[in-house]
Structure 1
Amino acid sequence: MPEGDSVHRAASRLHSALAGKPLTLSDLRVPRFALADLTGRTTLDVTPRGKHLLARFEGGLTLHSHLRMDGAWHVFAPGEKWRGGPDYEIRAVLGTADTTAVGYRLPVLELLRTAEEERVVGHLGPDLLGPDWDPARAAANLLRDPDRPLGEALLDQRNLAGIGNIYKSEACFLVQATPWTPVGDLPDPEATLPRLAAAAQRLLAANIGEHGRRSTTGSRLPGRELFVYGRAHRPCLRCGTTVLEAPQDDRPTYWCPRCQSGPAPAPTGRRRTG
């Protein structure tokens, strides 16, 4: 699933392509809104909210989309071949005189009144990349359920919006706790959680540019961009201990057994050979 930085980049591309221009083409390929026509309406802005995208149009309408695992928005110039996938995967087409935005495999796509946006995003916690970001409030949200594993709490968008599975593993590494550590068992959680929230925000903010591969270590060298995520059976970049992997809530989760303390399940998978 795309994380907050990826959604922020998608919103930026769509905003640059559509904002301030009247739509010359509108095609929503979902049954509920197949007859809706936005043609002639000017796009006011495209705003990310956590992992949600809100495209607002004059007349008080908002097109709400969520990418989840496989969804994507692509922007094409006039005459350029659409390359986001086969035509049957297209769920939305928004065109202007000089650009076309095409949404592929969008599992969530709905048209609603802008005044009703809170219905679809009002449950979210403070957005790590949004104007409402508040690390103290995010920390308080995380601590509401002190028995919950830290990794699960970080992925709960009601606590703070924008963290996905990659940043979950990386943030746990930064506070030297396994993702299965109960939130309340962190050392001095009232002090640790605001620092954790602030560190997660810095990581996402550092990766919203169009610079290619995501990095949480500060390095762009291949194989050294992430502390633990995706590094199963490879050495920890900090101490050299073999990084382990196990599922958490059906998501692959990574940790260093030396750098991170706390409970953990038996690791899964074996080193590949050959």
Structure 2
Amino acid sequence: MPEGDSVWKAAHRLDSALAGRVLTRSDLRVPRFATADLTGRTVLDVTPRGKHLLTRVEGGLTLHSHLRMDGSWRVYATGERWRGGPAHQIRAILGNAEHTAVGYRLPVLELIHTADEAEVVGHLGPDLLGPDWDPDEAVRRLGADPERPLGEALLDQRNLAGIGNVYKVELAFLAGVTPWLPVGELPPGVPERLVATAHRLLEANKDRPDRRTTTTARSRERLHVYGRENRPCPRCGTLVRKAEPPGQLERISYWCPGCQKGPSS
């Protein structure tokens, strides 16, 4: 599942290609909005909200999309060959004289009134990459259910918006606890440090081509434990373990049993 920094990059690409330009092509390939036509309207902006994308168009309309596990938006120059996947996977096409944005495998695509955006994103917690970022509110929401496992609480976009599975795993490692430790059992000060670290990492990675959570650019490894099953922990040398809930690829966890304290899945 895309993390908040990936969605921010997608929004930036779309905004650069579409904002301020009149749409000359519009094709929404979902039954409910198949007859909607946005041609002749100017795209005002493309804004990320957590893992949601809001493409605002003049006339008070917003095209709301969410990538979930497999979705993507690709931007092509006019006349360039599209390479994002087979045609039957295309869910949206927005084009102007210079660029064409193509949405592939989008599980959520809906045209709403801009005034109603709160109905689709109003439930989200403070956005780690948004102007509403509020670390104190994020800490409060994270600790609202003390019995909840840390990993679940971090992934809940109602607590803080933008964390996906990679950051969940890496943040737990940096905090020295497993993803299954109840939030209420975190040592004093750790929730505040977790939230601050999450904000720092997403801010640092939103402009990088490759995500990195390790502390120095000289490190050969970009991530501490995610995807490193049966390899030595960079902190203590213990072999990293992996937990994969059946049928839940988006919830895979990696952790070091040597230096991360708490339950083991």
Q: Which residue of 1 aligns with 2:149?
A: 149
Equivalent residues in 2 for 1:11-22, closer than 5 Å: 11-22=11-22
Amino acid at match of 1:256: C
Q: Which residue of 1 aligns with 2:123?
A: 123
SS for the counterpart of 2:32 is helix
Alignment check: 8 A CA contact 1:126 1:133 kept: yes
Identify unmatched segments of 5+ residues in structure 1. 266-274
Aligned to 1:228: 225
Q: Give the partner amino acid of 2:260.
A: Q
Q: Match of 1:108? A: 108
- The reply to whether residue 241 of structure 1 matches residue 231 of structure 2 is no
Do residues 138 (structure 1) and 135 (structure 2) align?
A: no
2:171 paired with 1:171: yes
- Following the alignment from structure 2 to structure 1, what is the Cα–Cα distance between the partners of residues 163 and 125? 11
TM-score (norm 1): 0.93
| Aligned twin of 2:82 | 82
1:269 corresponds to which residue? Answer: none
| Alpha-carbon separation, structure 2, partners of 1:19 and 1:80 | 20
Q: Name the residue aligned to 2:96.
A: 96
Which residues in structure 2 correspond to 1:149-228 (within 5 Å)?
Answer: 149-188=149-188, 191-209=189-207, 211-219=208-216, 224-228=221-225
Q: Secondary structure at the match of 2:244?
A: strand
The one-letter code sitting in structure 2 at the alignment partner of 1:242 is: L
What amino acid maps onto 2:18 in structure 1?
A: L
Q: Which runs of 4+ in 1 moved over 3 A?
A: 218-223
**How many residues are aligned here?**
262
- Deviation digits for residues 129-156 of structure 1 (CA, Å, limit 9, x no counterpart): 0011111111100111000000000000
Instruction: Report the Cα offset of residue 212 of structure 1.
Output: 2.4
* 1:18-48 deviations in Å (ceiling 9; x for gaps): 0000100000000000000000110100000
In structure 2, the gaps of 5 or more residues are none
- Kept in 2, the 8 Å contact 1:213–1:220? The answer is no
User: Does the Cα contact within 8 Å between 1:5 and 1:162 map onto a contact in 2?
Assistant: yes
Q: Do structure 1's residue 58 and structure 2's residue 55 form an aligned pair?
A: no
The code of the aligned residue for 2:107 comes to P
CA RMSD of aligned residues (A): 1.3
Q: What is the distance in 1 between the residues matched to 2:99 and 2:227?
A: 36
Shift of 1:222: 8.1
Percent identical among aligned pairs is 68
Counterpart secondary structure, 1:231:
coil
| Partner AA of 2:191 in structure 1 | L
